[in-house]
Amino acid sequence: MSEKENLNNSKRDLLKAGSMLAAGFFLGSNNSLKAESAVKPLNSKDFSPLVSRPPKGMSSRQINEHLGLYRKYVAALNKVNETEKKAGITHDTLINKGFAYGGTILHELYFGNLTFNPTDLNYRSELMKAIEKEFGAYEGLVNNFKEAGKAARGWVILGLNLYDGRLNIYGLDSHNEGTALAFIWPVLVMDVYEHAYMIDHGTNKEAYIDGFMQNIDWSIAEARFLQGFKNINNATLII
């Protein structure tokens, strides 16, 4: 199997997992998902094709070190879930669980929308229509996303707001800080922690952000957007 096929399979797994999570979140009735996650520890996803063929402007070492950090979040998540199962829920487990979940899922979304073979955003896609509605044009999104990247300390998320149905940009200063995680369906995720670019760019965050914007797999962002769109149409948040 080629590297590109490997990466695409990995991305398809992520999209499938995202659908399952969404179904459980919105409908609260996915008992099979709950039962499965109760007995099985999570495995880290395979993003190794990004190491052998890193996105333009990123080094294999940068990606490899970053993936090592991601795997630590998966391990931390499994550990805290195990602790809760054995010893019950405490304030510490709740905080640690939120941090580890954020560190796991956000990294998967980030690596999932990074590619060595970037695609253009389809100008006729539903995502493009939403971008034009909220930001005027694709360039408006790019400018705002870059500014958000400079301002945020942890993560920048282009996401579909499940409360008002609008596409918007959100920032997190940490994996578990910010209400965005609770009501945003992620479409495009950018890691702006220093560990994401220090090896390649030192403290030049702007150079990293410029490079990131040229290495996006927009087909993944479009697919995520459609997923969120579908869930909003099929279920309503109960207020």
User: Strands 184-191, 167-172: parallel, antiparallel or unpaired by DSSP?
Assistant: unpaired
**Residue for token pair 């909003």:** 232
Q: Which residues make up the interface to Fe ion (CB under 5 A)?
A: 191, 193, 196
Residue 17 φ then ψ, to 5°: -60, -40
CB of 103 to Fe ion, least distance (A): 8
Task: Please give the Cα distance from 40 to 21 (Å, whole number).
Answer: 15
* Nearer to Fe ion (CB atom), residue 20 or residue 69: 69
Residue nearest to Fe ion (CB): 191
CB of 155 to Fe ion, least distance (A): 8
Contact 111, 73 (CB under 8 A): no
Contact 159, 180 (CB under 8 A): yes
* Nearer to Fe ion (CB atom), residue 32 or residue 203: 203
CB of 182 to Fe ion, least distance (A): 21
CB of 44 to Fe ion, least distance (A): 13
**Residue type at position 115:** T
Contact 169, 147 (CB under 8 A): no
* Nearer to Fe ion (CB atom), residue 114 or residue 196: 196
* Nearer to Fe ion (CB atom), residue 19 or residue 60: 60
